[in-house]
Amino acid sequence: MYILHLALGGCLKAPPVQFGVTADTGGHIAYVLDAASYQACRPDIDRVEIVTRRFDDERFDPVHAESREDVAPGLTIVRIGTGRSRYLEKEALAADLPDFIHAFCEHLASQDERPDVIHAHFADAAAVAMAVQRRFGIPFVYTPHALGIDKRAHQIQCDGLEARIEAERCAIKAAAAIIVSTREEASRQVGGYRVPVGDRVRCVPPGVTTLHQAARSDTMADRLGDWFDRPEKPLIFAVARPVAKKNLAALVRAFVDDPGLRQGANLLILAGQHDRAGPEEQGVLSELHALAADSRLQGRIALPPAHDGTDVAALYERAAAGGVFVNPALHEPFGLTLIEAAAAGVPVVATCNGGPAEIVSTIGHGVLIDPRDPAGIAQAIKGIIDDPARHAALSAAGRQGVAAYDWRRYAQDSTAIYRSVGQPRLLVCDIDNTLTGCPTGARAFADWRSGSPLPFVVATGRDFAAAQAILDDWGLPQPDAYITDVGTRMMLADTSGKWRECRVYARALDQDWDQAAVADVLAGLNLTPQPAATAGPHKISFFGKAEDAARIDCALTEAGLPARVIFSHGRLIDVIAPHGGKAEAVAAYAGRYGWSLAHCVAAGDSGNDSDMLAACGHAILVGNASDELAHLPSRPGLYRSAAHHAGGVLEGLTRLGLARALTADAAVAA
């Protein structure tokens, strides 16, 4: 199996990583590196790649300008470059996304072998994975890491928040599976997007992050006397990005406002690399330094300006001797640092919002607090450091309970999910020359349908009435839904069995579609229109050749009018809404049941089937398929049948284990 992880933000390189060097170089970088490393160690995995942005920026390690970096046997980082060579913060990645998608697709097109699955980290990577799936049919799995809907719920200010939430909603809709770290993330956070997900959300806890320590005897833990009057006192330790949602100022206020805590312990906060702080981080650091300047904290608090993994590991070890680790975030999606603390035997005081509640419940190595209650934070800390017996019990619980978080188990479970994402849930077939063309094959297909529980949808260029008529003429079964007019109309049966157009899908096609303007541009091209009855609110149709289709596409591009131009059957040209087409309609129908395109089997024979054959997890090209589909790249999910028409569909279904092989006579007839 060939696995590809896709992560665009932050400075991603082979360990050791300087965490905090940018606002986006944090926990998800450790997650991706460890997940990929342990997957690459499995004997059933052939190859693992991590794909990220390539940039050449003097502020950062030159390795980020290299196209490839070997991490370990079987694991490589691949960097894709665009016209923007500088490092981009997460908020600035959106402008680079179209160029990155183009460059990444060209990279995949040039490869002899393509990934079996893409694991996208954050919604920006998921947007890339969606584009790749539509071109190459590679399914993708999505891990959000942090969701914008929780920022909104906790009134955390963030530029572009609504756009981010919409991007996350699209990622949740399209992913073949969604891997999260806690049950709370699965139910409340992902559930908050109100997207049907079926059984696609899977909880797979990560392991303990590898800190990649260097052998040093001059770590911060060895130099606590540089900051503290009494370095032997218990250490209150925190490490987080200096951003508002991490709520580090509340921890300082809890410390300064409690005389007993000030006298009984020292506070050390690692808040990123101060010289690389962005505008928001600089604001938080200024607040922390202002609070630390209180005369009551002299010799009691440390805000080191830089650190590395060795410092972090050494400080965990020091805090285990009577101290605590504190995570006071307003909301924490997961909380890898709490697992690191458990492995080091450090009791924790953690926010009750998000993943920490589940982590602390599972391991049993600390207490939860309301992050907006500084007095409560102080009381919780004192309740541990002032009680040696309780401290020892929590420390022991951490070392023992951390076994629940194991990267080897993650690698096993995640790769099992990857293998399962293509399980067929829906069959989508074109009609003309795919299901029709051979009476014997049509009868065999009808017989198969009568005994199969697999939902069945037709996707045709015909209008609804014509589609019904031809199915009836050929004795073909009624589908569960009709996708008609080249994917610009969806017909669903209501509770009484009456067919009605899906208005939700129709409204989605209105976006970015100016039919009148498109018609005006095309009026000057001297084209032969199809009969007026073939037109629709999201479709204009002509007769013509491939050259005419190319002229139409060029004219609309020059006019700046979004549209899709589809050429099929050697003579039909359909100009449709930019968000229309068979693949989009299939995705919309599947999404009603919590499925993605990866769960769909598409069968077709002509150019207007091209998008769904490319995008669906499984595709069947019947033996009589036209040369219009010759461009489809070979891939594991694409099957080219020897049999023609419906017999070819059944041959493909047999290959998937969804049908029995035709008898010899029927196969010859088909």
What is the structure's pLDDT at 17?
A: 87
Q: Does residue 536 form part of some domain? A: no
246/395 same-domain check: yes
pLDDT in tens, 594-634: 999 999 999 999 999 999 999 999 999 999 999 999 889 88
Tens-digit pLDDT profile for residues 308-367: 888 999 999 999 999 999 999 998 988 999 999 999 999 999 999 989 999 999 999 999
pLDDT of residue 613: 96
C-alpha dist (Å) from residue 122 to 126, 147, 178, 179, 636: 6, 9, 11, 11, 26
Q: What is the mean pLDDT of residues 466-484?
A: 97
Query: The domain that contains 618 carries what CATH number?
Result: 3.40.50.1000
Strand-pair partners of 268? 237, 302
pLDDT at residue 152 is higher than 90: no
Q: Quick check: is 623 in a domain?
A: yes
Question: In the structure, what pLDDT confidence band is assigned to residue 662 with cuts at 50, 70 and 90?
Answer: low
User: What is the residue type of 167?
Assistant: A
Whether 562 has a pLDDT exceeding 50, the answer reads: yes
- Give the pLDDT confidence of 59-112 residue by residue, as tens digits: 899 999 999 999 999 999 999 999 999 999 888 898 999 999 999 999 999 998
Indicate the SS3 state at residue 267.
strand
Domain containing residue 97: CATH number: 3.40.50.2000
Query: Residue 190 above 70 pLDDT?
Result: yes
Residue 302 and residue 239 share a domain? yes
What tokens appear for 295 in the block? 């005369």
385 belongs to a structural domain: yes
Assess whether 314 and 177 both reside in one domain: no
118 near 6, Cβ under 8 Å? yes
Whole-number Å distance between alpha carbons of 57 and 88: 10
Question: Do 379 and 449 sit in the same domain of this protein?
Answer: no
Parent domain of 154: 2-202
Residues 294 and 187 in one domain: no
Query: How many alpha carbons lie under 13 Å from residue 611 in its C-beta half-sphere?
Result: 23
Closest Cα partner for 421 from 214, 600, 668? Answer: 600
Counted domains in the chain? 3
Reply yes or no on whether the pLDDT at 420 is more than 70.
yes
**Residue at 284 is within a domain:** yes
pTM (2 d.p.): 0.84
* 604, β-bridge pairs: 621
Q: Are residues 41 and 176 in the same domain?
A: yes
239 and 298 in one domain?
A: yes
- Residue 173's contacts (CB-CB under 8 Å, 6 or more residues apart) are 195, 587, 591, 596
Query: What are the tokens at 277?
Result: 């702080």
Q: Is residue 519 part of a domain?
A: no
- As a whole number, mean pLDDT of residues 459-484 equals 96
User: Do 387 and 456 belong to one domain?
Assistant: no
Determine, yes or no, domain membership for 535.
Answer: no
> Which residue type occupies 629?
L
Among the listed residues 545, 108, 184, the one whose alpha carbon sits nearest the alpha carbon of residue 356: 184
460 dihedral zone (left: phi>0; alpha: psi -120 to 50; beta): beta
Residue 539 lies in a domain: no
Residues 622 and 503 in one domain: yes
Q: Are residues 589 and 453 in the same domain?
A: yes
456 and 374 housed in the same domain? no
The reply to whether 227 and 168 lie within a common domain is no
Q: Strand (E) positions, 363-497?
A: 366-369, 426-429, 456-459, 481-484, 489-493
Helix (H, G, I), strand (E, B) or coil at 180: strand
Among the candidates 349, 372, 406, a domain finishes at 406
Average pLDDT of the chain, as a whole number: 92
Q: Tell me whether residue 560 is in a domain.
A: no
Contact 483, 428 (CB under 8 A): yes
